[in-house]
Structure 1
Amino acid sequence: MVFVVNMELSMGPGKIAAQVGHAAIGLYQLMQEKPSQRDLLNQWDEQGAKKVVLQGSNTDQLLELHALALSLELPTYLVQDAGRTQVPAGSHTVLAIMGEEEIVNQVTGQLKLLN
């Protein structure tokens, strides 16, 4: 599972952690609801449930990556914040993507790790 954080929002570390959590749970729940994606989810879990957090430049980039992932038929979840704390309501904070590593890398392979 790969997470792309919208860095233009300048979220604090706690906010980023919460948003990545929302993305993980959201994507997991969506995949559980689709029988065709349960096998991928089980395989991911059996292989250690790897999670990678990457830096996205801005909202436009997150939306472009989301569209590309969808075109490759990858499961995705795009978090929109409620706007109660650090960012405006409706802000796209984190994109979660799941799939085979080679395919996910076609979407996120050029991004840097969050540090």
Structure 2
Amino acid sequence: MTNKNSSDDLDETDAEVDDVQDAQRDDAVFLNTGEFDKYEYDYFKLVLVIRTDLKMGKGKVAAQCSHAAVAAYKTARRVSSKAVKIWEKCGQAKIILKVDSEAELMKIAKQAKDMGLISNMIQDAGHTQIPAGSRTVCAIGPGPAKLIDQVTGHLKLF
């Protein structure tokens, strides 16, 4: 597994630092406009959007979703501890949705980024079922459900 924000080793890479800085700038669009405060008392969730066209086995899907959830949490802690605290108070909801293609996954990720939502794209390391670099899951959030639903509300449960 690789995340666009991480490498296989435990040290932060230059790319990880750059991506975190990009995420901080992206989140600043949403978090620093005062818009965030409107959602402070709303329900927060984390959505994991998985590709079904890769035909991953159940264990592979579970592993990729786990990677995405951990990456989302780590990114959120760095860029918005307030969002993490609210999400934790809401029970740390995690919803798994599905898309049928990489193009659809990328479209969802772009929409989330454009809205200033925290997002992470997971890419597989290619050691088992699928080719290295395959984008498998996009994590969106944690963040206000009302905003995340604007991006993912049309998707079906996995």
TM-score class, shorter-chain normalisation, is over 0.9
Q: What residue is the counterpart of 1:79 in the other structure?
A: 122
Percent identity (aligned):
38
Unaligned runs of 5+ in 2: 1-45
Aligned-residue RMSD, C-alpha = 0.6
TM-score normalised by structure 1 residue count: 0.95
CA offset digits 1:16-74 (Å, max 9, x no partner): 0000000000111111112xx11011100111000100111110001000000000000
Larger Rg over CA atoms: 2
- Aligned equivalent of 1:44, options 76, 87, 93: 87
Distance, in Å, in 1 between the alignment partners of 2:122 and 2:53 is 15
1:8 maps to amino acid: D
* Structure-1 separation of matches of 2:115 and 2:48: 17
Moved over 2 A (4+): none
Amino acid at match of 2:92: A
Q: Which residue of 2 aligns with 1:60?
A: 103
Structure 1 residues not aligned, in runs of 5+ = none
TM-score (norm 2): 0.70
Equivalent residue, structure 1, for 2:146: 102
Structure 1 Cα separation of the partners of residues 98 and 57 of structure 2: 14
Amino acid at match of 1:17: A
How many residue pairs get aligned? The number is: 112
- Structure number with the bigger relative contact order (C-alpha 8 A, sep ≥ 6) is 1
Kindly provide the amino acid, as one letter, of the partner of residue 108 in structure 1: T
